[in-house]
Chains A and B, each alone.
Chain A
Amino acid sequence: MTTIDQPLADTAYPFLPVEPSEAARRYAAICADRPMTKMTMPIGGDAWIIHRNSTARAMLGDPRFVREPFRTGERTVPYFMEFPEFLKSTIQFEDPPHHTKLRRLVQKSISPKRVRGMRDSAVKFANELIDEMVAKGSPSNLVEDYSIALPIQMLANLLGVPPEDRPKFESWSASTLSVANMAPEQIAANMGELVQYMTALIEERRREPREDLLSDLANARDKDDTLTDAEIIPIALILIIGGFDNTANFIGQGVLSLFNNQDQLAVLLEDVDTVAPTAVEEILRHAAWEIGNPVAGMGALVPFVATEDVDLEGQLVAKGEAIMIDPNGANHDAIAMAEPATFDVRRADNPHLTLSFGLHHCLGAPLARMELQVAITELFRRLPGLRQDGPVVINYDNLTQPITSLPVAW
């Protein structure tokens, strides 16, 4: 929104990194000006980038946008970097009806109800980690001691990795983490071992099922169809990579953004249990803008292709054109939310699209939300005096720019 005493914001897109307050002004002006911009991507040619929240929802909820040409290799995925080959074999590149089959099978095992049943063990584990931090004494590196350990434990629980194998599983999985900052060949070797291990575990669960996701998948029957290992492995991998890395990053970003907004931390501390759910949504929407980095006007979720000409809020998207949403825009669209530049842990109406929307919305969304709520609640409930105790380290070489070290004291 532009007021009389402010100069008009620049509506060019993409734009180079600027201060977050300036990025917010620009996104608000861009969203007011048009629903999307066509740009030439560094890889794969032209694509529409959607800015507006309502346009993003309309596209993500429209089955005329598909991913088949990317999956089959008919087209290069237009993106900021080369899209990793193995990701194209995962559920996020499938379309209905095969997508529907895979999604339904996994969905039940990671549903809001199942996740609610995992909450007690998450609380217990978070408290064990805090106990260890307290026993060691401050300062502590929150990333190492807390934000990586919690999601990986939850994931091992969900998948059904036996306790005696957890250390191996953790070290293989951790190598996929951007915060681990490992060499590509070392990541490949670890991934190879992880796939081998998972294949053996699936075989075991097929013979002797238990109460876990791998057993559900190994024994899933959708009408007369059974899932093959080639279908199950990518699902497990996308949960490990998508779930674990992102959740670890959000915990770190969340805590740092609270440190940087002491007034909001005070609001949270007044009533941690009540405020944590809205605080987590606000962290998902906006924490990356509150960790002291400039914000660039680019970035997007995985693209789609239009199967026919589609009018999206006045803009014609022609058959065969690629299109994707920029969550930064959709999460800072002043048409869709009040004062998008403000970090407000009590924000009641928060239509952010960090976990996407529609058919391809984040498969692990219920789990991610629960883990983040538990992580924030338990940490600040147990250690209300928690504070930053040294400079934070961010890996700028990685696309997700993860926090690799966050020293804290209490």
Chain B
Amino acid sequence: MSKVFYLQPDGVEKVIEGTDGESVMTTAVKNGVRGIVGQCGGALSCATCHVFLAEDELDNFSAPSEDEDDMLDCAATDREPNSRLSCQLLLREGSDIHVTIPSSQL
């Protein structure tokens, strides 16, 4: 079990205890976290699960693939150096994840 901390642009935070192996996107969608749409279901073809990953957690994940990198350029809110598609961030035992949700996904 690990926890995902979802910070909304208005400062409201929601903490979800997720299932290891599932993505930050799936965990959000299943638990009704606002602002993560995930319309393509993780097929890397919609850019609607964009998040900003906590700077000190960037190294906990492998760098974005070429496809993820391409799709980040398509996101509705401009990408930052810590931008990720949350469908590519998988929960791992004992390692909490902190993400900030952008102001717009659509």
Contact = CB atoms under 8 A, between A and B. Distances in A.
B45 A113 contact: no
Given A103-B45, A111-B47, A355 B39 contact: yes
Interface residues of A, number: 27
6 contacts: A104-B45, A111-B73, A358-B43, A361-B45, A365-B39, A370-B106
Interface in A335-369: 348-349, 351, 355, 357-359, 361, 365-366, 369
A57 interface: yes
Contacts of B73: 108, 111, 113
Given A112-B48, A114-B74, A348-B34, A361 B40 contact: yes
Contacts of B67: 104
A112 B45 contact: no
A97 to B, nearest CB: 12
A349 B39 contact: no
B74 A112 contact: yes
B46 interface: yes
Interface string A92-113: 0000000010011001100111
B76 interface: yes
Given A111-B74, A112-B48, A361-B41, 8 more contacts: A60-B41, A107-B71, A107-B74, A112-B75, A112-B76, A361-B45, A365-B39, A369-B106
Interface string B30-72: 0010100001111101111000000000000000000100110
A61 B47 contact: no
A370 B41 CA distance: 21
Interface string B78-106: 10000000000000000000000000111
Residue of B34, B43, B47, B78 most packed against chain A (CB within 10 A): B43
A351 B34 CA distance: 11
Contacts of A361: 39-41, 45-46
Interface residues of B, number: 23
Contacts of A104: 45, 67, 70
Given A358-B40, A358-B41, A365 B75 contact: no
Contacts of A370: 106
Interface of B: 29, 32, 34, 39-43, 45-48, 67, 70-71, 73-76, 78, 104-106
A370 B70 CA distance: 22
A369 B73 CA distance: 19
A116 B75 CA distance: 10
Contacts of B104: 112
A154 to B, nearest CB: 15
Nearest to B33: A349
Closest 7 CB pairs of A and B: A111-B74, A61-B41, A112-B76, A358-B41, A359-B43, A361-B39, A349-B32
Residue of A277, A349, A361, A370 most packed against chain B (CB within 10 A): A361
Nearest to B78: A113
Contacts of A108: 70, 73-74
Nearest to A96: B43
B41 A359 contact: yes
